[in-house]
Amino acid sequence: MLFYFTSTGNSLYAAKQFDEELYSIPQELNKTTRQYKADHIGIVCPLYEFDLPVIVKDFILHSKFETDYFYIVMTYGMHHGGCAVRNTEYFEKAGRRIDYFNTVKMLDNALPVFDMDEQRRIDPEKKVDEHLSLIKSDIEKRRHYIQPAIKEEIDFYENFIENSAAFSAALKQPKYSVSDQCIGCGICSRVCPKGCIRVTEGKATYDRTNCFGCMACIHACPQKAIGYAEIKEKNPEARYRNPHIQLMELIRSNQQI
Ligand SMILES: Cc1cc2nc3c(=O)[nH]c(=O)nc-3n(C[C@H](O)[C@H](O)[C@H](O)COP(=O)(O)O)c2cc1C
């Protein structure tokens, strides 16, 4: 049994390598009671600012899991910042035992920081499939392992916390805008895990109240009509979806409207 969250498909691609019984976290969160029992239970999701996305944290803290082996794998793009140790301690304080916590470097979809065309170019260097198969083998062996927090990653994380408060707030509670390029196709509203976008009178309207900044809508818009209102993007013309994942899979995973 594996629960996942994804905005552009990396984490769904990773999840598919580890298990066949997949459940989308945004869909599970619509259930009023969540009690799960299985021999092994996994969580796969992207890393947001060296942490779990708030939607995933909520899911873990407000669901009941009965299992002999609980694992978390996070996909990230550049620096994991020692998230495994920090989050294992956090969850253990909250009474959740974590048996395995690892990360896998994939393409970085953070538009304010990276150009997706450039990211595609360096993607092969990350050897994603090799790393995924090592993690798959760990999970099959029920290996107990928490990825150590090496100094370089801790330094990177601490520097970010110290110097990037305003940027971090702008990512966590973003302001997106919809341009006149919008043709009202509604794809943005269907990939949003929080139902923040509706199409009215042929145009997408975005309400940031529940938005936690996953960028799924921005990446999926075929017109490139959605973007940050206040942050400059590296390349507003480049968008991303994991090449192994279909748009319909993102919609089935996240759609709330
Ligand atoms: C809001 C946001 C914050 C991110 N923060 C980080 C980060 O701190 N470190 C990092 O290496 N990658 C970061 N990323 C990149 C994603 O973790 C990475 O691209 C991930 O594989 C995307 O997975 P998905 O396609 O399943 O959504 C961030 C992406 C977003 C959208």
Q: What is the 3-state secondary structure (H, E, C) of the chain?
A: CEEECCCCCHHHHHHHHHCCCEEEHHHHCCCCCCEEECCEEEEEEECECCECCHHHHHHHHCCEEECCEEEEEEEECCCCCCHHHHHHHHHHHCCCCCCEEEEEECCCCCCCCCCHHHHHHHHHHHCHHHHHHHHHHHHHCCCCEECCCCHHHHHHHHHHHHHCHHHHHHHHCCCEEECCCCCCCCHHHHHCCCCCEEEECCEEEECHHHCCCCCHHHHHCCCCCEEECCCCCCCCCCCCCCCCCCHHHHHHHHCCC
Same domain, 176 and 146: no
d(CA 204, CA 241): 20
For the chain, the residue count is: 257
Q: Is the CB of 103 under 6 A from ligand 1?
A: no
Ligand 1, residue 45: give the atom nearest the CA: 26
Q: Is the CB of 178 under 6 A from ligand 1?
A: no
d(CA 7, CA 9): 6
pLDDT at 55: 98
Of 210, 215, 186, whose CA–CA distance to 198 is shortest?
186
For residue 87, the CA-to-ligand 1 centroid distance in Å is 16
> Token pair for residue 235?
């390349």
- Identity of the residue numbered 39: D
- At residue 70 the predicted structure's pLDDT band, cuts being 50, 70 and 90, is very high
pLDDT at 85: 98
Same domain, 110 and 13: yes
Which residue's CA is minimally distant from atom 4 of ligand 1? 48
Q: Report the pLDDT averaged over residues 130-148.
A: 98
Same domain, 157 and 178: no
CATH number, domain containing residue 188 = 3.30.70.20
Same domain, 141 and 206: no
Q: Which of 163, 180, 200 is the endpoint of a domain?
A: 163
Q: Is the CB of 50 under 6 A from ligand 1?
A: yes
Q: What is the pLDDT of residues 72-125, one digit of tens each?
A: 999 999 999 999 999 999 999 999 999 999 999 999 999 999 999 999 999 999
Q: Report the pLDDT averaged over residues 38-48.
A: 98
pLDDT at 36: 98
Same domain, 148 and 65: yes
- Identity of the residue numbered 113: V
Ligand 1, residue 111: give the atom nearest the CA: 31
Ligand 1, residue 214: give the atom nearest the CA: 31
Give this prediction's pTM. 0.97
Q: Is the CB of 216 under 6 A from ligand 1?
A: no
Ligand 1, residue 77: give the atom nearest the CA: 11
Q: Which of 132, 163, 194 is the endpoint of a domain?
A: 163
Q: What is the pLDDT of residues 213-233, one digit of tens each?
A: 999 999 999 999 999 999 999
**Domain of residue 62, residue span:** 2-163
Same domain, 141 and 192: no
Same domain, 149 and 178: no
Which residue's CA is minimally distant from atom 18 of ligand 1? 76
Same domain, 74 and 147: yes
**Helix 151-163 crosses helix 165-172 at what angle (to 10 degrees)?**
90
> Token pair for residue 208?
């940031």
For residue 201, the CA-to-ligand 1 centroid distance in Å is 33
pLDDT at 86: 97
pLDDT at 257: 84
Query: What is the share, in percent, of the chain residues with pLDDT greater than 70?
Result: 100
Same domain, 118 and 88: yes
Q: Is the CB of 76 under 6 A from ligand 1?
A: yes
Contact 173, 98 (CB under 8 A): no
Q: Which of 163, 195, 222 is the endpoint of a domain?
A: 163
Q: Is the CB of 49 under 6 A from ligand 1?
A: yes
Same domain, 139 and 64: yes
Q: How many domains does the chain have?
A: 2
